[in-house]
């Protein structure tokens, strides 16, 4: 699982780690965006929350993740990017994983200072990257998501996420290799 503030580069790194680890990259944000683009029921339901930088309701999000984790390609491992994002989702994830006979091996915590984050986000050009929603998503991260790190402290590994894309991938791989596999 990857965690870090909006703009920390989780999506970029998750895609690269997915290749190196040969495990699917499961990004709730990507799944929402794909559904919004195709104007599915799920997409229509998610749209206003995503546009506002709010979390999509847990019920909707958890069901989506549950379906995705049950797919054949996720049975040997997966990278979770952007989920869970609050305590209720973390509890639900535990239930889902135990039903599937799975568990989280590690939580990669991407660390970037605030100034760098704003710089990155304002140059990204995503439709939910206006200054106002960026600020709001950062607040949501600090209040809802960041406190989860403590919950996962036994399996949390910190990654300095400032540097070149390649450097950061190498750091993440090193951090995973150091994580004792019990
Ligand atoms: P991301 O691509 O991870 O930055 O997510 C973009 C947007 O999708 C977020 O601002 C939320 O509106 C929504 N989203 C992504 N993941 C979640 C989640 N785990 N729970 C609720 N909403 C989510």
Dihedral of alpha carbons 131, 138, 166, 30, sign: negative
Atom 9 in ligand 1: which residue has the minimum CA distance?
A: 50
Domain boundaries, the chain: 2-178
Q: Which of 52, 41, 102, 109 is nearest to 81 (CA)?
A: 109
- Does ligand 1 have an atom closer than 6 angstroms to the CB of 28? yes
Q: Where are the beta strands (DSSP E) in 8-118?
A: 25-27, 79-81, 107-111
Q: How many CA atoms lie within 13 A of 146 on its CB side?
A: 11
Measured between alpha carbons, how far is residue 179 from residues 38, 143, 166, 174 in Å? 39, 27, 20, 9
- Does ligand 1 have an atom closer than 6 angstroms to the CB of 7? no
Taking residue 119's Cβ as centre, other Cβ atoms within 10 Å add up to: 11
Cα radius of gyration rounded to whole Å, the chain: 16
Q: Where are the beta strands (DSSP E) in the chain?
A: 2-3, 25-27, 79-81, 107-111, 156-160
- Whether 57 has a binding-site annotation, put simply, is no
> What is the Å distance from ligand 1's center to 28 Cα?
6
- Does ligand 1 have an atom closer than 6 angstroms to the CB of 134? no
Per-residue pLDDT of the chain (182 residues; tens, 9 = 90+): 999 999 899 999 999 999 999 999 999 999 999 999 999 999 999 999 999 999 999 999 999 999 999 999 999 999 999 999 999 999 999 999 999 999 999 999 999 987 788 788 888 778 888 888 888 999 999 999 999 999 999 999 999 999 999 999 999 999 999 865 55
- Does ligand 1 have an atom closer than 6 angstroms to the CB of 50? yes
pTM of the complete model: 0.93
With the most atoms of ligand 1 within 8 angstroms of its CB, the residue from 82, 91, 112, 128 to mutate is: 82
Class of domain 2-178: alpha beta
- Whether 43 has a binding-site annotation, put simply, is no
């Amino acid at each position: 699982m990857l965690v870090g503030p909006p703009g920390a580069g989780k999506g970029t790194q998750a895609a690269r780690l997915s290749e190196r680890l040969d495990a699917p990259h499961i990004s709730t944000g990507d799944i929402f965006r794909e559904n919004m683009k195709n104007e599915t029921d799920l997409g229509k339901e998610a749209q206003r929350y995503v546009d506002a930088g709010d979390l999509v309701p847990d019920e909707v999000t958890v069901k989506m993740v549950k379906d995705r984790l049950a797919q054949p390609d996720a049975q040997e491992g997966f990278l979770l990017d952007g989920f869970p994002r609050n305590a209720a989702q973390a509890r639900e994830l535990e239930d889902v994983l135990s039903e599937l006979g799975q568990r989280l091996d590690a939580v990669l915590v991407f660390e970037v200072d605030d100034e760098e984050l704003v710089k990155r986000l304002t140059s990204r050009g995503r439709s939910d990257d206006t200054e106002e929603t960026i600020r709001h998503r950062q607040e949501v991260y600090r209040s809802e998501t960041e406190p989860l790190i403590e919950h996962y402290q036994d399996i949390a590994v910190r990654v300095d996420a400032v540097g070149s894309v390649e450097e950061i991938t190498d750091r993440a791989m090193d951090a995973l290799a150091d994580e004792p596999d019990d």
